[in-house]
Structure 1
Amino acid sequence: MSVFYKNIAMRGRVAQRGPARIVGLVLSVLLLLVLGYFQAPTLGFDFAGIYVVVLIAALPAVVLMGRKSIAALWLFLAVLFGAVVFLTSAPILHANAYYKMLGTETPANFHDALPPIDIEQAPLVSQDMALQAMQKRLSEIASLGSQVAVGTPVKQLVKDKLVWVAFLEHSGFFKWFADGATPGYLVVSAHDPADVKLVMELDGKPLKLRYLQSAYFGDYVERHAYLSGNTTVGLTDFEPEIDDNGVPYYVGTVYEHKVGFSGSESSGIITVNAVSGEVKRYKMGAEPAWVDRIQAEEFILEQMQDRGEYVHGYINLNNEGRLRVDGVLDLVYGSDQRPYWVGGMTSKGKNNGLSGFYFVDSRTKVVRWFKVPSVSQDTAAHAVENVNPEKHYKATNPLPFLVNGAPTYVMALRDVQGVSRAFGMVDMRNNQIIGVADTLNATLRSYQSKRSSNRVAADIGTEAREMAVKGAVVRIAAEFRNNQTMYYITLNTGDKTLGTIFTGSSDLSEELVLTRPGDKVELSYSDSNTRVVGMSKFHNTDIPGVE
């Protein structure tokens, strides 16, 4: 009799498992669809996302199946996947591959890439200063300021002018649901934060930006790009850019893996027209000329870190030769008007100095290494902030420029409200040589005065391109600054009067004190595109007894 009842109970449990299994399968399929839609995993064998989605989606079916064999198989596949990822991607096994990811580096000096400072157009407006200017402009339009938000500003070159660009984004889900699009974008000059433009029309037609980072479902720009025939390639780093005609796009990086499931490497870009939604994919080297960011910042930063970390393999107990990236990367436009990711490298551990800089072309990934021992950006910023500590100024991220042939950090100084109040210059190799003033021109004069009185600063600039000139003095004037007298000279070379103003102190040459208009002089200076340049040598050939 007991056997009879046991058979009935067993049949009941089997009957109950049938619906549970169906429910489990249905839940797994639904979960797979939901995760696949919202997570948008790359459908590639060397991308881990799709395997993770499948394993997670399979869980309801595994649990509700009620079979130990199915659960054991799921667990085995999960462990197998983890083992494959580790064996093919772990740095401890592939340190050399990660070290090589950055590519071949070419040793060079700063004059190959650093842009000479342009006092009239120095791009010292930081991202937060640009964002503040954009938000202020938006708040001036009451009907608009409460409807949309300013997106993240991105620096780019538009028609040879360096600007910050940010799209107007939805302020929330219900604003997106009600409006469907935003009415334009903002542009701020990287030189003057007061130069702000709100672009709401293009070719006489109102702008309607639909495909945005703040949109939802099919309007979310990354999902839209993914579902437009790009499910099998890696997509990342979508940033707003405008072309030379002002058409707004999101530009994303297409990438692949070079070390198992890791070692991300840019292989092209994808553009999404923020208005029409048109999606185009470009291979490396075939991108439109207006696109500045092809190499994803996150990849370059990771590869710089790996280059410094695995210089002598994974196991390096003494940290011999190990370097790390100091701070964050900055996008700097070089003397060739090309964009470069710039990262300062410092030795492992706490260190206030840099061993050198990497300049990586953000379009072609050409890598240049500048082995110039220098102070860190934080050290330079603190040095400038401490010139007038009572004012509580905060420096923007210092940018590297050539000032009179010397590699120099240049930055803006802001008050507690974030308004630019002054500027600072710091010699990258000697943070005791500082210039701070209310205007950039005055800062340059102060900095030149400090450099002129510091012979060590002049002597260590061996990589500077020295220029020599002879001529007659047209004008000479003196100015007392920083407890010393600075002399300013203009020359006539015989056929024309030079527009350059040469400056130096009596510490450079006692002959400056005796020089008069009409005297014949010979001088040297570092190649620069600034109007006022500091002299490295000075000789008055008309002074009797001086050869």
Structure 2
Amino acid sequence: MFYVLLIMVLVVFGCAEYIFLMPLNLSYSGTWIFAILVTGVLGGLAFLKMYEDEKYISSKARVLPLAPAIVMIVGFIVMLVVSLPIFRSDDYRRLIGSVQEKTFTSEIQVVDLTQLPVVKENYAKSLAEKKLGNLGSKVKIGEPTLQNNNGELRYVFPLLHRSFFKWASSPQGTPGYIVVSATNDKDVKLVDEINGQKIFIKYQTEAFFGDDVRRRLFFSGTGLATKGLTDFTFEIDNTGKPYWTTTVYEHTIGLSGSKAVGTAIMDTQTGEVKVYTVENTPDWVSRIQPQDIVENQVNSWGKYVHGWWNSFFSENDVLKTTEGYGIVFNNGRTYFYTGITGSGRDESTTGFMLVDTKTGQATYFKMSGGTEIAAEKSAESEIKNMGYKAAFPTLINVENIPTYFITLHDNEGLAKRFALVSVSNVGIVGVGRDVNEAKASYLKSLNTKGGVLGGAGEEKTLEAVVIRIGEYQSEASSYYAIILQGNENKLFNPPISLSPELPITKEGDTVRITFVDTGYGSINVKSFDNLVFNQDLAKVEQSVKMNQQKVEGEEKKENE
């Protein structure tokens, strides 16, 4: 009977390991608990066996089988204690590595408006689901990855099994993935073949047994059974071939102090696994550092600035992250970013932290201003009669001014307006039907509310004769392209909302414009004045504003 029970116990624990995949490494809490259960149950069985044979074995010897479980319990307690921040606060603060302090304008490039992620994740998901069509009865949309792929921002959605039975009936896997452009909601593609070859997602997070991504990695024979695995991300390489990219991490402070040490990349069709260090991970991989690990590291860096006692009691110089994390794309690199605020502050920041999503290198920008939530409220207040909601901001550089870019969307997630909000003064806001219009409104707001442009070019005022002028439509707003005498190599692009004189300006008129030439795209005009006219512009602008409010009111009724 004893041996039958022993075999049953071993089978149960073997199945448990197959299901839960505990790392074969005692730097993980789950492994300690599993090991205590195993040694405890096996020791208990051995104790009972010896108790039956007590006439042959001394009473002291009968407790020996319980010794391994006792040792494991004591070891686990010791590991828990040595992992506490009260003893290791300096180690927790150093988890993030060396934090560089830099100037925002020297590090973050002036933004290219055409590359802003105007399509937010929820809306991208609804677009992907519509693209499924008849496939929707067989597969479902997985969690997306926002990738900077071949210089374009894209959401990549894997197609996953809907259920166990769908998995069982599709041994080859699901038919490909969906790509949604983050800059153009009309660009949605179902990718089910590459170079004429059908592609399938056989190994996935919604598969079972050996087709499960985590299980395949664990039993791949590449040493991953002894490592921590997290952040199972679906990504495509530069040719469009799909992979699962998984972060490999280790605990560096007892049972805590998670730190990414590499990646495991799996071919979704063949299950082939390759393991890389952080340094030699392929360039097309967009993320190695998981957001939750980065968030813990940044918070530890700010919290334990003067040790554990200070963080718990006086909180002198203690810093913390603001609510939410965003993504910044800069100079071909991807970063997590979050505002940094002092302990007890809610609406203001002391700076911003950017962390490279590949290397984990952290950069701190000391810069006081409003939080992301404060910027959202400010943007919403500009169009409160419309009822649109603000998405989480993206931090960008507009004319060398730290700026929040915010999409304002309806209940369906469709972007209806775009806003630019100054980080240093969230009361300075520009809103428009498209990004260019929002920028023009923002620059105008900077002028009227005392903002200081820090653009790469010098601010200039120019009086000249118009030799060419034409109107064009960009997304939801009208713009003018103007060439001035003596400046034939420059193209000035004021939006129609900048001045009521623009629609009646013609070739031969003398105009005065103020602009900053940053060298990025066409020249943004800050102010426009046709010197031919001497009318009361205040009345004209008031009329234009009333008409605009009328249009917005009609749009609101349509949305309702």
Specify the TM-score bucket, using the shorter chain as the normaliser. 0.7 to 0.9
Among 325, 330, 335, the alignment partner of 1:329 is: 325
CA distance, structure 2, for counterparts of residue 526 and residue 95 of structure 1: 49
Alpha-carbon offset, residue 350 of structure 1: 4.8
Asked if 2 retains the 8 angstrom alpha-carbon contact of 1:309 and 1:323, the reply is: yes
Aligned match of 1:204: 196
Q: Does 1:275 align with 2:266?
A: no
Superposed CA deviations along residues 39-90 of structure 1, whole A, max 9, x for unmatched, are 2222234333332222223444344444683685366234313322123311
Aligned match of 2:259: 265
Aligned match of 2:365: 370
Aligned match of 1:146: 137
1:241-252, aligned counterparts within 5 Å? 241-252=235-246
| Cα distance change on mapping 1:281 and 1:110 into 2, 3 Å | same
Asked if 1 retains the 8 angstrom alpha-carbon contact of 2:492 and 2:525, the reply is: no
CA distance, structure 1, for counterparts of residue 80 and residue 115 of structure 2: 50
Aligned match of 1:428: 423
CA distance, structure 2, for counterparts of residue 128 and residue 279 of structure 1: 31
| Cα distance change on mapping 1:82 and 1:164 into 2, 3 Å | same
Among 203, 219, 224, the alignment partner of 2:211 is: 219
CA distance, structure 2, for counterparts of residue 57 and residue 392 of structure 1: 58
CA distance, structure 2, for counterparts of residue 407 and residue 454 of structure 1: 16
Asked if 2 retains the 8 angstrom alpha-carbon contact of 1:269 and 1:284, the reply is: yes
Secondary structure at the counterpart of residue 192 of structure 1:
coil
Aligned match of 2:407: 412
Aligned match of 1:50: 31
| Cα distance change on mapping 1:380 and 1:274 into 2, 3 Å | same
| Cα distance change on mapping 1:57 and 1:177 into 2, 3 Å | farther
Asked if 2 retains the 8 angstrom alpha-carbon contact of 1:62 and 1:71, the reply is: yes
Aligned match of 2:123: 129
**Given residue 385 of structure 2, which amino acid in structure 1 is its aligned partner?**
E
323-332 or 423-432, larger mean C-alpha shift: 323-332
CA distance, structure 2, for counterparts of residue 207 and residue 407 of structure 1: 43
Alpha-carbon offset, residue 491 of structure 1: 7.3
| Cα distance change on mapping 1:530 and 1:312 into 2, 3 Å | farther
Q: Does 1:34 align with 2:15?
A: yes
Superposed CA deviations along residues 351-386 of structure 1, whole A, max 9, x for unmatched, are 111111111111222221111112111111122122
Q: Does 1:116 align with 2:110?
A: yes
| Cα distance change on mapping 1:489 and 1:213 into 2, 3 Å | closer
**Given residue 318 of structure 1, which amino acid in structure 2 is its aligned partner?**
S
Asked if 2 retains the 8 angstrom alpha-carbon contact of 1:24 and 1:60, the reply is: no
| Cα distance change on mapping 1:285 and 1:474 into 2, 3 Å | farther
Alpha-carbon offset, residue 24 of structure 1: 4.2
Superposed CA deviations along residues 433-490 of structure 1, whole A, max 9, x for unmatched, are 11222222221221121111122x21xx66x54536687634499xxxxxxxxx9996
Alpha-carbon offset, residue 410 of structure 1: 0.8
269-278 or 225-234, larger mean C-alpha shift: 225-234
Asked if 2 retains the 8 angstrom alpha-carbon contact of 1:115 and 1:333, the reply is: no
Among 303, 325, 339, the alignment partner of 1:309 is: 303
CA distance, structure 2, for counterparts of residue 491 and residue 366 of structure 1: 45
CA distance, structure 2, for counterparts of residue 286 and residue 105 of structure 1: 22
Superposed CA deviations along residues 89-143 of structure 1, whole A, max 9, x for unmatched, are 11111000010111111111222343433333321222112111111211xx22x
381-390 or 21-30, larger mean C-alpha shift: 21-30
CA distance, structure 2, for counterparts of residue 393 and residue 310 of structure 1: 40
CA distance, structure 2, for counterparts of residue 264 and residue 305 of structure 1: 13
242-251 or 489-498, larger mean C-alpha shift: 489-498
| Cα distance change on mapping 1:382 and 1:25 into 2, 3 Å | same
Aligned match of 2:534: none
Superposed CA deviations along residues 505-528 of structure 1, whole A, max 9, x for unmatched, are 99xxxxxxxxx967999x773746
Aligned match of 1:448: 443
**Given residue 226 of structure 2, which amino acid in structure 1 is its aligned partner?**
T
Aligned match of 1:15: none
Secondary structure at the counterpart of residue 132 of structure 1:
helix
Among 473, 484, 490, the alignment partner of 1:498 is: 490
**Given residue 327 of structure 1, which amino acid in structure 2 is its aligned partner?**
E
CA distance, structure 1, for counterparts of residue 342 and residue 70 of structure 2: 43
Asked if 2 retains the 8 angstrom alpha-carbon contact of 1:266 and 1:295, the reply is: yes
1:82-93, aligned counterparts within 5 Å? 82-93=76-87
Secondary structure at the counterpart of residue 379 of structure 2:
helix
**Given residue 177 of structure 1, which amino acid in structure 2 is its aligned partner?**
A
Alpha-carbon offset, residue 492 of structure 1: 6.2
Report % sequence identity.
29
Aligned match of 1:399: 394
Asked if 1 retains the 8 angstrom alpha-carbon contact of 2:124 and 2:155, the reply is: yes
CA distance, structure 1, for counterparts of residue 446 and residue 37 of structure 2: 63
| Cα distance change on mapping 1:77 and 1:432 into 2, 3 Å | same
**Given residue 287 of structure 1, which amino acid in structure 2 is its aligned partner?**
T
CA distance, structure 1, for counterparts of residue 33 and residue 465 of structure 2: 76
Among 377, 380, 398, the alignment partner of 1:382 is: 377
CA distance, structure 2, for counterparts of residue 281 and residue 314 of structure 1: 37
Where do 5+ consecutive residues of structure 1 fail to align?
1-18, 478-486, 507-515, 541-547
**Given residue 250 of structure 2, which amino acid in structure 1 is its aligned partner?**
E
**Given residue 200 of structure 1, which amino acid in structure 2 is its aligned partner?**
D
| Cα distance change on mapping 1:107 and 1:527 into 2, 3 Å | farther
Q: Does 1:77 align with 2:71?
A: yes
Asked if 2 retains the 8 angstrom alpha-carbon contact of 1:384 and 1:395, the reply is: yes
Alpha-carbon offset, residue 152 of structure 1: 0.6
Aligned match of 1:95: 89
Asked if 2 retains the 8 angstrom alpha-carbon contact of 1:401 and 1:409, the reply is: yes
Aligned match of 1:22: 3
CA distance, structure 1, for counterparts of residue 430 and residue 242 of structure 2: 39
Superposed CA deviations along residues 328-369 of structure 1, whole A, max 9, x for unmatched, are 3222211x1111111211222351111111111112222211
CA distance, structure 2, for counterparts of residue 412 and residue 23 of structure 1: 65
CA distance, structure 2, for counterparts of residue 204 and residue 128 of structure 1: 31
Secondary structure at the counterpart of residue 81 of structure 2:
helix
Alpha-carbon offset, residue 222 of structure 1: 1.4
Aligned match of 1:173: 164
Secondary structure at the counterpart of residue 256 of structure 1:
strand
Q: Does 1:158 align with 2:154?
A: no
Asked if 1 retains the 8 angstrom alpha-carbon contact of 2:404 and 2:420, the reply is: yes
208-217 or 339-348, larger mean C-alpha shift: 339-348
Alpha-carbon offset, residue 530 of structure 1: 5.0
Alpha-carbon offset, residue 36 of structure 1: 1.7
Among 225, 234, 255, the alignment partner of 2:228 is: 234
Q: Does 1:318 align with 2:309?
A: no
Aligned match of 1:186: 178
CA distance, structure 2, for counterparts of residue 92 and residue 189 of structure 1: 47
Q: Does 1:296 align with 2:290?
A: yes
CA distance, structure 2, for counterparts of residue 188 and residue 91 of structure 1: 43
CA distance, structure 2, for counterparts of residue 328 and residue 23 of structure 1: 54
Aligned match of 1:510: none
Asked if 1 retains the 8 angstrom alpha-carbon contact of 2:262 and 2:276, the reply is: yes
CA distance, structure 2, for counterparts of residue 532 and residue 383 of structure 1: 27
**Given residue 205 of structure 2, which amino acid in structure 1 is its aligned partner?**
Q
CA distance, structure 2, for counterparts of residue 242 and residue 495 of structure 1: 46
